[in-house]
Each structure stands twice: as structure tokens, then as C-alpha cells.
Amino acid sequence: MSIFYGKLCSVILKQVFGKNVQSVAECLFDSISRSLSVIIKTTNLTRREATTALAILIKFRLVTFTPSVSGLIPEYSLNRDAINYILRYPRYVHLAQTKFGENGSSIVEELIRSGCLPASAVIIKCMNNYDNKVKPELYRDVFNTMVTENYLIRLPVPKAREEVVSEVCPTLSIEDYEVFLPPDLDLMELMNVQNGNMQHCRDHEIFWQINFERFHQDFRDQVMVSAVEKKLGASAGECFKFILKTMYTKTNPWQQSYSNPFTLAEVKHLIDKSSKNLELMKYLDQYVSLIAEDSLGFIRKTGDMGGGQFVVDFERSFEELAYTTVESIITEKFGSKASRIFRVIRMKKYIEQEDIQKEAMIPAKEAKLLAYSLVQEQFLQIKTIRKAGGGGAGPAKAFYLFQIKLRQIVKMLLDICYKALYNAITRTDFEKNENKRLIDKSQKLESIVDAMRERGDAEEYIEEIRETMTPPEREIMDNVKLRLKTLANAELALDETIFLFQMYLFHTAYRPPVKTK
């Protein structure tokens, strides 16, 4: 992990959980695992403070524990990747609202806020906090649907005492069939607990958490469908959406860089069953061929099992998307001519400096300047090939070829994104602390005005309350709101870029052999 990612994780944990949790996470960040005594010694926290911070991190699945080599004490490890998920919490809630309505977003909000909870506790909290008029069976049905569709996942539970070898470190386990098995909830129990007639429901020891992998699968699909829509149109995007649905019926979403083969007939059957797009139904063959022949390379024909089948190629898809993103960054930073040089080198794979100006049709001096600027910023690399028989006298003769190492570029850009995200969060905190008095005053005025409007007070009285904030204060507050909004939008855009690059690195990390005819 990079230094910038460590700083980003640190500031996120401090913002959400406080300084003690930040200190414990920083202690675990640079090591594989550490014991409680080492954490206390390193952080200078009391035993109570350290154990409380660890309990919070474990509850939010940011820390895991395993027995030490001796088996006498537990050792704690930090889940570094999951810390970045905290920034995506609003996106998880929005996706749940889009797919499952207000009840689904309420359930996801409660699980995000608490880390993990029993199903009954989630439903009771939703009924108390959001809308008492909603019947508990509606929340129960939505919860069960989210479990069935893998958006919520059941957490492992400690083994029975007689099954545990060591009592120092509990052993967590769960059967495979229970992971996405909907909970058995009694509506009468829920009502009794809500009314205070019972302490807890029968499922009080069974905890649930949102399944990040399932949400990320939808984010990945959105990236790909959006790319197809922008390039080939809305109907092509809808066609690709049904291709993905067909693919998931026979392919594990995260275990392969390309899907298992599917046929056009399977896609057609699903579209006839679920879509109302008559144009798509009529020209389905042409849309599938258009997507398969496009340079994006999202799907490709395969000759396995007699031909006429297709596979979704995640590796090629995110390689193309990563190249497109890198080209966009180069255009913003160096101009269109630099991106033209980048495309030429990508097309040729290896090219000498003298040939760049000819292929890109750019003057020699300008082409040389831009090429070496890209090398300096690590967007291009130089490969040296020495000529045979150079001898020991005089300078060694060699070819200097420009090339592109995309994985190296993506890792470099990820570090820049982490740094920019850290700066955006730090600047947001600074703006809020610097203008804390004005922000508090503005929020109080807004709450008073809202209350007066609900009571039906006259507009002239409301205007008098608003005038308690002077014009200079109002101007400063408007500028602060604008800066905070800009920073929030920057955080969202950076996270989308980070997600795309992470998907590229994930899908190109392992390259299984592809058999084609």
C-alpha cells in the first residue's frame, strides 16, 4: 500500500470514528498482524481505549483476528481495502433506494450506521427512526428480498464452547447454505420488542451486514453499461444490460476475467420476458453484433462448443476503459497532441522517437518535447535494446523505443487519486472548522424558518428571522457552501475513477488461458 493511501485511510477513520480508532488502525496498517499488548505499547492508549477501538473496528469488519502461533493470544489484522468503502456509503444507500425503494435504503442506512445488526433489530430501528406507519411485514419482505439477491450477508457466529479448542480466541464459522438464507422473523415478536414487552427476538445472536461485493458488482455493471450507452446508444446499453443478466446465471461474478459462454437465444428469451423495447427485440442480432465488433471489446465471439456463442471479457473491457481514462487525463494535462502521441505508441506497441512525429503528424521538435514530457510524468516508458557487436571502444549503440506499461500507469494514477482525495477531505474539514460558527448559525436559522413555516407564520416574520444573518455573513456562507459542494463533487468523481482503476487491476491480475478456435 502507498503512503498516500495510508494517509487517506487515517483521515477517513479519524473523521468517522475518532482519534483512538485512528491510532489503532495506523498501528495495524504497517504490519501483517499485532497483539493487543503491542498495540497498547505503540499507541500509548489505555487498555480500555485500545480494546474499545478494536471492538469498533471488528464490528465494522475493518479488523479480523486469528490465534497467534502459540495459540495463547489473538492477533489483529487490518482490512485495508475495506476502509475505502466508507466513502461509498452514500452510493450504497442510493443504489438500495433505486432497487428496493425507501424501505431498502432505510435498512442499508441502519446497517451502515451500526456496522452489523440482527435482522429484527434493523427492522425495529427502521420503524422507530423513519416511519412508524410502515407495517413491519413490509420491512421484513424487503429485508428477505435483499438477502435472497445477495445484497445482505449473514456473518459467521462463534462455535459452541465445547467445540472450541482455545477460549482465548473465539472461532467463527457458518455453513455455506446459511450465508444468504433469509431470517425467520416472527411479526408478533417484533411488535412486542418495539412496544417494550420483550427484551429481544429469537434471532438476537445472528448478525447481518451489507455485502460489499454485490454492490460493487452493480457499480461495475453500471460503468460498463454507461460506456456502451454513450458510444452506441440507449438500446445498445439496454441490450448489454440483459447480456450481463444472462451471463450471471452461469458465471461467478468475481472468479474469472471472462464469463462462461452464452448464446444469443438465451439473451433473446430474457429480453422477450422482461423488456418492452420493441426496437431492441426487432434488431437484437444487429445490436449484439455491434457490441461484439466494437473496439470496446466488452463481448466477443467464441468458437467453443460449435460456435455461435459469446463471452463477456472483463479483462479487455476494463483495459479499454483504463486506456480511455488515461488518454482523457493526458489531454487535460498536456493537450490533444500529447494524447495523439499516446494513441500512436499504444497502436505500435514499440516505436522510435523519429517515427513518432511521422505517425502522429506533429512537428519534430514539438513531438520530442511532448514525448519526453510524458516520459517524465511516467505516462510513457523507454525500452533500451543494445545492438550486438558494439565492442568496448566508443559509446555503446542502442535503440531507444517508447512503450506503454498500463498497469504501471494505473498504479501511479491511483496514488495521485488517493492524494487528491486526501487533500479534498482535509480541505473540507478545514473549511468546516474555519467557518464553524457561521455554519452552526445558518443551520439554526434554517431549522427555525422551517418550524415557522410548518406553523403557518407570516412571511414577514420569517424574513425578520432571516435578517439576523448580516449580508457579509450571508456572502461568506454562500462561498463556503459553494466550496464544500465543489469538494464533495470532486470526492465522488475521484472515487469513480479509483473504482474503475481498481477493477482494471483486479481483472488483469490473473490471466487464465483462453481457448478459441
For the chain, the structural domain boundaries read 3-78, 85-210, 217-305, 317-387+396-404, 413-507
What kind of fold does domain 3-78 have according to CATH?
A: Arc Repressor Mutant, subunit A (1.10.10)
pLDDT at 305: 47
Residue whose grid cell is 517524465:
376
Count of other CB atoms within 10 angstroms of residue 81: 13
Instruction: Select from 68, 87, 75, 67 the least CA-distant residue to 8.
Output: 87
pLDDT at 131: 57
Q: Please state, in angstroms and rounded to a whole number, the distance separating the CA atoms of residues 508 and 320.
A: 12
Count of other CB atoms within 10 angstroms of residue 14: 18
Q: Please state, in angstroms and rounded to a whole number, the distance separating the CA atoms of residues 228 and 313.
A: 14
- Residue partners of 95: CB distance under 8 A and separation at least 6: 215, 218, 219
C-alpha distance from residue 170 to each of 69, 166, 338 (Å): 15, 7, 58
Alpha helix segments (H runs only) across 275-313: 278-282, 284-293
pLDDT < 50: residue spans in the chain: 305-306, 394, 512-517
Instruction: Select from 84, 83, 103 the least CA-distant residue to 93.
Output: 103
What b-and-e string marks burial along 343-370, b requiring 16 or more CB atoms within 10 Å of the CB?
bbbeebeebeeebbbebbebeeeebeeb
pLDDT at 320: 94
Residue whose grid cell is 450481463:
244
Count of other CB atoms within 10 angstroms of residue 189: 17
Bridge pairing between strands 74-78 and 157-158 = unpaired
Instruction: Select from 92, 85, 133 the least CA-distant residue to 110.
Output: 92
pLDDT at 458: 78
C-alpha distance from residue 362 to each of 328, 335, 378 (Å): 19, 13, 21
pLDDT at 510: 56
Q: Please state, in angstroms and rounded to a whole number, the distance separating the CA atoms of residues 110 and 5.
A: 28
Bridge pairing between strands 157-158 and 172-173 = antiparallel
238: left (phi over 0), alpha (psi -120 to 50) or beta: alpha
pLDDT at 446: 83
Of 1.10.10, 1.10.3470, 1.20.1250, 1.10.357, the CATH number of 217-305 is: 1.10.10
φ, ψ for residue 383, nearest 5 deg: -105, 125
- All three cell numbers of 80, joined, read 485495508
pLDDT at 107: 93
Q: Please state, in angstroms and rounded to a whole number, the distance separating the CA atoms of residues 325 and 500.
A: 9
pLDDT at 187: 84
pLDDT at 514: 46
Q: Please state, in angstroms and rounded to a whole number, the distance separating the CA atoms of residues 164 and 161.
A: 5
Q: Please state, in angstroms and rounded to a whole number, the distance separating the CA atoms of residues 357 and 430.
A: 47
- Whether domain 317-387+396-404 has CATH 1.10.10.10: yes
CATH number of 85-210: 1.10.10.10
Per CATH, 3-78 and 217-305 having the same topology is answered: yes
Q: How large is the greatest C-alpha to C-alpha distance in the chain, in angstroms?
A: 96
- All three cell numbers of 232, joined, read 452506441
pLDDT at 276: 85
56: three-class secondary structure by DSSP: helix
